[in-house]
Amino acid sequence: MHDDRRLVEARLKRVLDERVRPAVYPESVPLEVAVWHAPGEPVPVAEGLAAEPVPIEVGARWGAPWGTSWFRVTGTVPEAWAGKTVEALLDLGFDENMPGFQCEGLVYRPDGTPVKGLNPRNQWVRIGAPVEGGEEVRLHVEAASNPVILDYHPFLPTRLGDKETAGSEPQYTLTRMDLAVFDETVWQLVLDLEVLGELMHELPVDSARRWDIVRAVDRALDAVDLQDVNGSAAQARVRLETVLSEPAVPSAHRISAVGHAHIDSAWLWPLRETVRKVARTTSNMTALLEDEPEFVFAMSQAQQWAWVRDHRPEVWARVKKAVADGRFVPAGGMWVESDTNMPGSEAMARQFVHGKRFFLDEFGIENDEAWLPDTFGFAAGLPQIIKAAGSKWLLTQKISWSQTNKFPHHTFRWEGIDGTRIFTHFPPVDTYNCSMKGSEIAHAARNFKDKGLARHSLAPTGWGDGGGGTTREMIAKAARLRDLEGSATVVWESPAEFFEKAEAEYPEPPVWVGELYLELHRATLTSQARTKQGNRRSEHLLREAELWAATASVRVGFPYPYEELDRIWKTVLLHQFHDILPGSSIAWVHREARKTYERIAGELNAIVDAAQRALAGEGDRELVFNATPHTRAGIPAGGAGTPAAEGRTRITPRPAGGHLLDNGLLRIEIDGDGLVVSVHDIEADRETIAPGTAANLLQLHPDFPNMWDAWDVDEFYRHTVTDLTTADEVVADGETGVRIVRTFGSSRVTQLLSLAPGDRRLLLDTEVDWHETEKFLKLAFPLDVHAERYASETQFGHFHRPTHTNTSWEAAKFEACNHRFVHLEEPGWGVAVANDSTYGHDVTRTVRTDGDGGTTTTVRVSLLRAPRFPDPETDQGVHRFRHALIPGAGIGDAVREGWRINLPERRLTGAGEVTPLVTVDRDAVVITAVKLADDGSGDVVIRLHEAHGGRARATLTTGFEVADVVATDLLERPLTEIVARDGDRVTLRLRPFQLVTLRFRRAQSRS
């Protein structure tokens, strides 16, 4: 037989596009439309419904950027349509290629009842099925004219990302407002032909199944009367029945479809708009669940559920009913789908505490899975946090975006720094916006790495990013793919149902150890420095507020601020969302974040001050409060007292120009250009800085990635570098420091380099008045250390990365994340670099070809970037950073100095010393949280971990009378582990990096 498949394929495309799809709505009449444009921010629903609109015609422009317009549409169903299905088609000016990224609407009845959301792939509203004819139609649409930020030519700078700069030019053209007859038979024919046509393209040309489909489609198209599609559609469908009923082969890949709408809590829209996006999407999904009995929809991010509850109670009622029916599934057990690289230990734990507790409190549902499809890589400390929260599974797909190396597994166990293993799945469909296209389903089956050992994968199905969710077309396609020859099989299931099946069939999957590094979006560790500083400082202020408030509550009856701390924690957790903390949102988001962090700092400082004053009492003795988990200057961790004297520092002129700092522990040379040319460890008689190099070297690179400006830094940025070695001013400053001023381009840097008495660290305070564009600023420390790997702090510990690039996996990690420190060492001597607010860094090594032939290992801290998309003013203005160089540091010194630089001393006068609420006798055991139990019982909760990477036996002593102590999970629920207690002492034996939470019931509790 002649090969005519291309002829049939072309025929199918044209007939579908020009005849069959248009026949889904064979008759229509226009609706009357009027509009009211809300001034300023969105108004309550009642106000929008009550407003008096003015007429508007289809074809008119509407919608200033970030505005809200309330459309009223009215009409009458023609009497001649009696017995037919009728829908309103409401096209606000949609581009079907941009679901979630442009205008959207929520439809209401006149009484304020929400009907469903409108978006580019969901423009219909059911009026009746069937209608009687003559019905009066009246609907209201709350339409958001969100501007398109990420357009067809992406990453172009735009001022549309902030309402303060976006202007007032109308963004959209009202396109269609009609009542129309919906022909379900034709609609079903469209889906039949789409599914078969898409499957046909994925099958081998020489397969019999492909030719069966070609012939069936050809026969069906013969049955379509192009002048009467509606009258002939049923017969065309009959000719496809046989080919659609052939079952899948027994070995077919099995896909669990999970209804999904990944909604970024902020990104190319502000937080307030996400509140409405969630309401639109949940309205759509609850309506769809009522119509489709097999459909299951899952939504993560407890914050988004809370928004629906608090802002859209009428939608919340429908959501609660769907949850009770088991169809609308809370997923993930986190407050938001956060970044996992940068949040600190406690913050990462609290993501699960607040997320899981919300779903437990509202629905009695416990989440077993972490659900993070779009997060930009995963820190090595995360597995034990997931387990400590009572969960056991993880889902993500973002690693599929890696540019260099293909991850070798789709289902595996991920092992964290303490040895905890979590069953993990990467959906091989490689998207969290699956739409049930044949190409997606075939890709998932072909791409699945674990064939022969496992057969199940998951497909998050629905429009996401900006929301919208699953459509009725996706559900119709999934029904045809449930058991179809040539295709993977598809069934709707919850995440838990998928994981149970996947784990049961694959009990011994491969193991991946260490971080899940995304070989992309590396610049998110640096973009929007103020947002990152706000996060870091908020985390540490929360530690202080909980520590001092708990101590004061136990000691003097201070009222513990449960509600305030709960609210502030949730605000900080929200801003750790994976497009806020990483710096990849529009200007509006980061402008609001800065204000939020300022407000939080004020509230937390007020709590700390009140608690400390309550502890200090009345008196004139100067007290220093130490919030770090280590003794500092003789003051115990979590206590207050008078610091011990620490000697003195001498500043003398350097003969060759510059200054010399010496405190008897370190001797530091700063040359006439403000560069650190020597840091000598006097006790070890060891030089820190590599020969012929200088530290405190600011380096400027061009920074214009190939795409994803705020997200990416491409490796070629290193090809060009400008060393900023010229100083405008290098002068002694006070008794312990040297001040340096540099100017370059349009920017200015002012630094204070200081060596305090008794310190084994060089402190670098850097202020940058930054006015560069598309530049990357680094701070370099070339060290005379031979190290094949270095330690980088992460949640509840640290892990090691190589300093070499032996393989493509190592070379790809040219920009990485650390928390408070990086540390590298030779046996017996090491160096740490600590910071108070930066995350991005790189570490490289070279061998000196002249001189001693030794190794130079260079640590570079990433300070600032200046991308122009999506915020054209990213990081412009004044920034302040603090770093410390610690020679002779072991890993314990690195841990201690990391805490110290982030928790400065607080001084006030009082009556006398404050003894700690709890102490531990091993530096390796670090207490990360001291707080009162969240349930208001007055119990004291202590969270700690082994921080050095070894085994530790420690004794924890309480400064209050204990009635009982239990080990708990992160949610403060008792575990079965027995805690060895002797009065006020608890003995612990910890594995490397082991995380422990202890709950102490006081002999006399105060709530």
**Which residues carry out catalysis?**
374
Query: Distance of alpha carbon 131 from its chain centroid, rounded?
Result: 46
Query: Please, how many CA atoms are within 13 Å of residue 505, restricted to the half-sphere of its CB?
Result: 16
How far apart (Å, rounded) are the C-alpha atoms in residues 818 and 174? 49
How many Å is the maximal CA-CA distance in the chain? 103
- Contact assessment for residue 914 and residue 639, using Cβ atoms and an 8 Å cutoff: yes
Q: For every residue of 256-316, which 3-state class applies, written as one string?
A: EEEECCCECCCCCCCHHHHHHHHHHHHHHHHHHHHHCCCCCEEECCHHHHHHHHHHCHHHH
Q: State how beta strands 393-395 and 421-425 pair.
A: parallel
Q: For every residue of 452-481, which 3-state class applies, written as one string?
A: CCCCEEEEEECECEECCECCHHHHHHHHHC
- Contact assessment for residue 529 and residue 592, using Cβ atoms and an 8 Å cutoff: no
Type of residue at 422: I
How far apart (Å, rounded) are the C-alpha atoms in residues 43 and 40? 9
Of 249, 30, 55, give the one whose Cα is nearest residue 137. Answer: 30
Question: Can you name the residues that pair with 251 across neighbouring β-strands?
Answer: none
Q: Assign 242 to helix, strand or coil.
A: helix
**CB neighbours of 123 closer than 8 A, spacing ≥ 6?**
89, 90, 91, 94, 176
Long-range contacts of 213-219 (CB under 8 A, 24+ apart): 213/243, 213/486, 214/5, 214/8, 214/9, 216/240, 216/242, 216/243, 217/8, 217/12, 217/193, 218/8, 218/11
Query: Distance of alpha carbon 577 from its chain centroid, rounded?
Result: 4
Query: Distance of alpha carbon 864 from its chain centroid, rounded?
Result: 21
How far apart (Å, rounded) are the C-alpha atoms in residues 768 and 615? 38
Q: For every residue of 571-612, which 3-state class applies, written as one string?
A: HHHHCCECCCCCCCCCHHHHHHHHHHHHHHHHHHHHHHHHHH
Q: How far, CA to CA in Å, does 564 sit from each of 272, 571, 603, 942?
A: 22, 11, 9, 20
- Contact assessment for residue 903 and residue 968, using Cβ atoms and an 8 Å cutoff: no
| Burial class (CB within 10 angstroms; exposed 0-12, middle 13-18, buried 19+) of 319 | buried
How far apart (Å, rounded) are the C-alpha atoms in residues 911 and 622? 9
How far apart (Å, rounded) are the C-alpha atoms in residues 4 and 11? 11
Structure tokens at 599: 């407000």
Question: Can you name the residues that pair with 767 across neighbouring β-strands?
Answer: 750, 880
Output the CA torsion sign for 710, 715, 407, 442. positive
Q: At what angle do helices 229-238 and 184-202 cross, to 10 degrees?
A: 50
How far apart (Å, rounded) are the C-alpha atoms in residues 985 and 940? 14
How far apart (Å, rounded) are the C-alpha atoms in residues 641 and 645? 13
DSSP states along 489-550: EEEE--HHHHHHHHHHH-SS--EEES-B--SS-GGGGTSSHHHHHHHHHHHHHHHHHHHHHH
Of 822, 383, 387, give the one whose Cα is nearest residue 396. Answer: 383
